[in-house]
Amino acid sequence: MEDVTRRLVVVTGASSGIGLAAAVDLAGRGDQVVLVGRDPARLTAAGERVREASGERPELFRADFAVLDDVRGLAERLRAAYDRIDLLAHNAGAIVLQPVTTIDGFELSIQANHLAPFLLSNLLRDRIGRMVVTASAAHRSGALDPDDLNAPLRRYRSMGAYGTSKQANILFTAEAARRWPEVPAHCFHPGVVRTRFGSESRLLSWSLRVLPFRSPEQGADTLVWLAREDPARLVDGGYYVDRRLHRPLPKAADRELAARLWAASARAVGCD
């Protein structure tokens, strides 16, 4: 049963790809959509796409998840603008081809893909009605160590670092559901999607040419479905693929590891 009420929806990573496709779809269904992105020009262009599809110009918020102070500022601006956020869709993410340490001292993948969404969720917790997190089957290549979030910087492999951040996404979603039962939380794998994501990588670009791929709209389908479905019909904290509940690998379903990650993340971003 789809929720047909008008809601306030915040989508991160909404400048292109899955995030933009989801924003266009949700706005077309009558939701008030707020777009969050890093690049001002692409964010403005995305806003025009949403306006053309829905007839309503969305609010735009710029933030770089590679800078935690940007995330804190984003949370302050969202809190000032909205008393309630019916849906927070965590879609911002990055595949980082070379080892990069952020200004905050963390490996870029784990910060942009996990720590920044973790911080934003905690800062907005009392405003959030539900959460959807873009995860990935790439969690199979994850090797998360909550005691050393920068471990991927040693002998760096881009897909290993990315997989570790996606493993963290799934663990975070499940732990958020346990700690915040009043906030339904779900994550999903969008499939292999042809977007700008990872376009700088020759290997990834080649893979997208030879592997079965989806359009951004197809990749966003489960996100939109999770955003609209009655939470009572879903498994809180669940990981979904093509609108079906899936069991992630054990390393992404370990409750003890999820609790350790939560504690380590809270220390890392200073929101104990």
Give me 68's structure tokens: 């935690």
Which residue in 183, 162, 64 sits closest to 114, CA to CA? 162
Nearest to 197 by CA among 205, 189, 186: 205
Cα–Cα distance between 68 and 119 in angstroms, integer? 8
239 annotated active-site = no
| Of 82, 156, 162, 239, catalytic | 162
Query: 266 is written with which tokens?
Result: 């809270």
Q: In this structure, what token pair is assigned to residue 237?
A: 């904290």
CA distance 239 to 6: 25
| H helix runs in 56-115, sequence order | 68-81, 108-110
Helix (H, G, I), strand (E, B) or coil at 255: helix
- Active site residues per annotation: 162
